[in-house]
Structure 1
């Protein structure tokens, strides 16, 4: 929600990707005219707008319900998927035993995102070198994990998405919980291409958000409820 500033950059970038049947913008009660911006964007393709209640899981599920394709790719507004996205989606989901896939992440300074959208993003290399070391801790994890986070551009068939029950509508860790459910159904593969992610939250709170991103998933898997983690998160902001 409230992504009017970044959405045009993503939609313009998606126009350059081959193999996209439809783009669904699912909004959760934004107050900055996000849907109006989407309607006036430069996206050259089929665009569906969905407005629903707040909550990331609810927005993702609502978008999936309104989409018309059989292959689903979930993107955050502050990301740029690689130009060979369609290739990896089809290649990995065809492999026996694979139920879903995702991309490696590469975090960049927020101001860099729009410039990268106008350039040729690397397919298997990192598209933007440099940056503080703490900006790339999540990138290291994304190369080896079998439990992708939401900003990794998760892709899956509609049938498997529905079989897994969609994203659980909880306050936090909905992406990790969904990945845990998917892993019970089969393998989750990570493509070698990078999805570029804005490092805005790490830039705003470098120490705090770096610690939270690297500790909350472990606490959740140890049994700490998502509701309690959400309360801790609110209290530390």
Structure 2
């Protein structure tokens, strides 16, 4: 069984459409859909329940905590972590299953955006390469539950970069694969704050992370650029 785990926080605008898609394309498959809410103040929980997902309320906030909680409650041998604003290919379960049968214990998809901005198309193109600098949670992640547990799951101490950090650890224990099809993620933040501005900020965050700057400093840097922007 594949357990699809979706961390969510105030995602009422996106979660319903995603769950309808997942339900349609997982019908007849051995799977379950878990939405792990991080304390939403909107109708995320209501919409998710109406769409038939199993909704879990994380005792701790933060995406790493939400995903770890979902993994703990998941019944599947395989975990598939997916952001609420990201849509996998219609054949995603078959695509993952093929890689499992080929002997891979973990992997992700390539990335595409729902916006045709040239810079975003270039950024997406680089996600085909097996470089940690271009590995982010928007690409989703599948992993054998036993392997996930063995490495200790997502690092709950991380406020940012938890998706990239876990891939680094997974690669020390198993062969990681990038599925050649893309997931499609929302470009809403780029549209709101500006493509080049936001990409610059993300690049700085990655550099700060690898320089081992404290999570609090990185998070403050991110928030200081995001709040009040008119871009």
Q: Normalising TM by the smaller chain, what interval?
A: 0.7 to 0.9
Q: Is the 8 A contact 1:93 1:156 kept in 2?
A: no
* Residue matched to 2:160: 172
Which residue, 115, 119, 127 being the options, matches 1:134? 119
Question: Structure 2: which 5+ runs fail to align?
Answer: 1-8, 227-231
- For residues 60 and 35 of structure 1, the distance between their equivalents in structure 2, rounded to whole angstroms, comes to 16
- For residues 197 and 162 of structure 2, the distance between their equivalents in structure 1, rounded to whole angstroms, comes to 20
- For residues 153 and 121 of structure 2, the distance between their equivalents in structure 1, rounded to whole angstroms, comes to 29
The residue correspondences of 1:26-105 to structure 2 (distance < 5 A) are 26-41=36-51, 43=52, 47-52=53-58, 53-96=60-103, 98-105=104-111
* Residue matched to 1:118: none
- For residues 214 and 2 of structure 1, the distance between their equivalents in structure 2, rounded to whole angstroms, comes to 26
Deviates more, 1:184-193 or 1:5-14: 184-193
Q: How many pairs align?
A: 211
- For residues 38 and 181 of structure 1, the distance between their equivalents in structure 2, rounded to whole angstroms, comes to 32
1:17 equivalent to 2:25? Answer yes
- For residues 232 and 76 of structure 1, the distance between their equivalents in structure 2, rounded to whole angstroms, comes to 23
* Residue matched to 2:6: none
- For residues 68 and 28 of structure 1, the distance between their equivalents in structure 2, rounded to whole angstroms, comes to 20
**1:112-147 CA distance string (max 9 Å, x none):** xxxxxxxxxxxxxxxxxxx21122343123111343
- For residues 29 and 173 of structure 1, the distance between their equivalents in structure 2, rounded to whole angstroms, comes to 21
Please give the TM-score of this superposition, normalised by the length of structure 1. 0.83
SS of the residue 1:145 aligns to? coil
1:205 equivalent to 2:213? Answer no
* Residue matched to 1:185: 173
- For residues 154 and 182 of structure 1, the distance between their equivalents in structure 2, rounded to whole angstroms, comes to 11
Which residue, 114, 128, 150 being the options, matches 1:143? 128
- For residues 20 and 198 of structure 1, the distance between their equivalents in structure 2, rounded to whole angstroms, comes to 27
Deviation at residue 20 of structure 1 after TM alignment: 4.8
Question: Structure 1: which 5+ runs fail to align?
Answer: 110-130
Q: Is the 8 A contact 1:172 1:227 kept in 2?
A: no
SS of the residue 1:17 aligns to? helix
Root-mean-square deviation (Å): 1.6
- For residues 75 and 84 of structure 1, the distance between their equivalents in structure 2, rounded to whole angstroms, comes to 15
- For residues 95 and 39 of structure 1, the distance between their equivalents in structure 2, rounded to whole angstroms, comes to 35
- For residues 228 and 162 of structure 1, the distance between their equivalents in structure 2, rounded to whole angstroms, comes to 29
